[in-house]
Homo-oligomer: A and B are copies of this chain.
């Protein structure tokens, strides 16, 4: 007896909606992210590095498991395979953007204006010098020595600036020294660092968009970025202090989270519309709602959204890296030089900020500020998607982010060897910048 339908093959070719292939890609991305996170946690390396390498492995430059439209999607684009691929790329760009917007919102939630003001001058000095020195070194290498265009050199220098404090905080907590004075300075400086990095990013995005590199243009963009930041922080924090605690008077379900997510999307859009990066607005929205985070457990509520969306950012960023670039000795040499300068910049800058506290403290702070982790990747990703840096420079920055991040944990452990660990691992100060979950 013959079946009335040419069953499995026909069904599966005809039944698949345009989304099935994308759903499969999303599953592969999330699976790769979680497998990598598990493996990297077990070998005591940052999970975020694992996710990045997982993206590199499954991406189009290696295994090619994701990013190819299937027949159903091509059919939905009227048979135009190039348009289907472009549509798919847009979908993943949006998902990665939502991931990084949520990531920066979460970082913002951990950054309270009052906490920054309290950190003291030492942390501010460490932050500023730890930003200026690596930027200068990066710009000198790419702009002056290698002769790349100013915008490209600025993006590389900007990626060398920011500290990824989550990884250092995790190591310090694992070592039981999170309440040491060095730890507090590192965590405080990292917060100021984030804000400085956002402003620098705004300037380089503005430069890339306008092509303008005149001193007046840069001053204008920097002024706008600073003005936007100050306006949102001052007005927003005031509003949040005054009204945020009344958010539960709203009748809709989960109003505090909903309003904070609304602010995240709104400020991300606003900052993108005025020529800054969307993540700057998301970060500021988080900072504004940091005022009400304890009352409404906003961090605990934002965390599952983070855990669902952020891996898409790292895996998709990794998938853009063409590992074959590093088989070229020239590119590899540049990547190693940039990494060395990034490490030296933070050691010299952060160490100089600690002058007078003894060599060991200078070394601990300098090394603790060194991981670039996700922040370097974010800057590189923006530069790449704006077309401001070419593929090989993108790869160089990704390599620098990975290497500066993986060398830090062992070196910190050596520097703290023989020091007494404090027992109050989950103390009040510790929570401040240490709550960023490992991905």
Known: A14-B210, A27-B269. A307 touches B20 (CB 8 A): no
Closest to A19 in B: B97
CB within 8 A of A304: which of B76, B301, B385? B301
Inter-chain contacts of A274 with B (CB < 8 A): 12
Q: Which residues of B contact A87 (CB under 8 A)?
A: 83, 86-87, 90-91
Q: How far is the CB of A249 from chain B (nearest CB, A)?
A: 11
Total residues of chain A contacting the partner, CB 8 A: 82
Decide if the interface of chain A is mainly helix, strand, loop or mixed: helix
User: Which of B4, B254, B269, B303 lies in contact with A23, CB distance below 8 A?
Assistant: B269
Supposing A4-B216, A275-B15 touch, asked if A251 and B42 sit within 8 A by C-beta, the answer is yes
B77 touches A38 (CB 8 A): no
- Contacts A254-B307, A304-B304 aside, 16 further interface pairs with beta carbons under 8 A come to A3-B220, A5-B220, A11-B206, A19-B278, A20-B269, A22-B94, A23-B278, A30-B265, A31-B265, A34-B252, A37-B252, A38-B252, A41-B252, A83-B86, A253-B307, A253-B437
Chain A contact residues, CB within 8 Å of chain B: 3-5, 7, 10-12, 14-20, 22-24, 26-27, 30-31, 34, 37-38, 41-42, 47, 73, 76-77, 80, 83, 86-88, 90-91, 93-95, 97, 205-206, 209-210, 212, 214, 216-217, 220, 250-255, 257-259, 261-262, 265-266, 268-269, 272-275, 278, 301-305, 307-308, 385-386, 437-439
